[in-house]
């Protein structure tokens, strides 16, 4: 697979992490792999905690020219100097968020396994559409974003697509030719050496 065709890397933080440790772990990964974007995906609803995490990760990411987007919290994007937002409700709020944040901000949409939702998100102005989970996970309702969805999308739609959720080496090999980004999160953060785990996961890309 040539560098031009090779999918880019999109890192997703764990839903919960230790602010004293995680920024260094993220830095170590960013220093060993070429990453296009980092998504702060904290589950916390505590504004102070989310803001402190965003500040710490922004410093790490921006020092390495990597974009940082935040999941859901549109109002924090400009306040905290972030690059954009990752929406989890498909295409529903994209037009409004695009208007609020302007053309320069990154606005991405998670669309589950639904082609129609993805198309609507792209038409509404999303910079990328994420589908998943691509692998088997006990979480959620058991539905998966199948290879066929990515094959169709790569042939028919110009909006960049992200494959995420329960990735494996086999899935990376299979989806590599038909996705623009791999969204990698728990697959590496649950290991001792995240950088090594990432390298192993992406080995099929060469």
pLDDT number for residue 4: 53
Cα distance between residue 91 and residue 121, in whole Å: 4
Count CB atoms within 10 A of the CB of residue 164.
23
What are the boundaries of each domain within the chain? 8-205
Does the structure show a pLDDT above 50 at 155? Answer: yes
pLDDT average, residue stretch 146-153:
98
Fold annotation for 8-205? TIM Barrel (3.20.20)
Supply angle C-alpha 63, 67, 72, rounded to 5. Answer: 130
**87 closest CA partner among 125, 141, 49:** 125
Percentage of the chain beyond pLDDT 90 is 94
Q: Indicate the average pLDDT of the chain.
A: 96
pTM of the model: 0.96
Which segments within the chain are labelled E, that is strand? Answer: 8-12, 37-40, 67-71, 84-87, 106-110, 128-131, 161-164, 181-184
pLDDT number for residue 66: 98
Q: Each residue of 39-62: pLDDT tens digit?
A: 999 999 999 999 999 999 999 999
Q: Each residue of 86-139: pLDDT tens digit?
A: 999 999 999 999 999 999 999 999 999 999 999 999 999 999 999 999 999 988
pLDDT average, residue stretch 127-152:
95
180 within 8 A of 153, measured Cβ to Cβ: no
Does the structure show a pLDDT above 90 at 1? Answer: no
pLDDT number for residue 2: 45
pLDDT number for residue 206: 85
């Amino acid at each position: 697979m040539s560098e031009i065709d090779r999918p880019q890397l999109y890192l997703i933080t764990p839903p919960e992490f230790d602010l004293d440790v995680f920024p260094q772990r993220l830095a170590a990964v960013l220093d060993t792999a070429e990453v296009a974007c980092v998504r702060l995906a904290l589950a916390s609803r505590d504004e102070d905690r989310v803001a402190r995490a965003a500040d710490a990760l922004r410093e790490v990411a921006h020092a390495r020219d990597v974009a940082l987007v935040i999941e859901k919290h549109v109002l924090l994007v400009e306040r905290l100097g972030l690059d954009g937002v990752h929406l989890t409700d498909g295409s529903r709020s994209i037009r409004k968020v695009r208007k609020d944040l302007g053309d320069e901000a990154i606005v991405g949409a998670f669309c589950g396994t639904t082609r129609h939702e993805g198309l609507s998100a792209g038409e509404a102005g999303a910079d990328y559409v994420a589908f998943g989970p691509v692998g088997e996970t006990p979480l959620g309702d058991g539905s998966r974003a199948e290879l066929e969805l990515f094959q169709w999308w790569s042939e028919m739609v110009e909006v960049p697509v992200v494959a995420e959720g329960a990735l494996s080496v086999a899935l990376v090999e299979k989806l590599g030719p038909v996705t623009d980004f791999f969204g990698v999160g728990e697959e590496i953060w649950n290991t001792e050496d995240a950088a090594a785990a990432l390298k192993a996961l992406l080995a099929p890309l060469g």
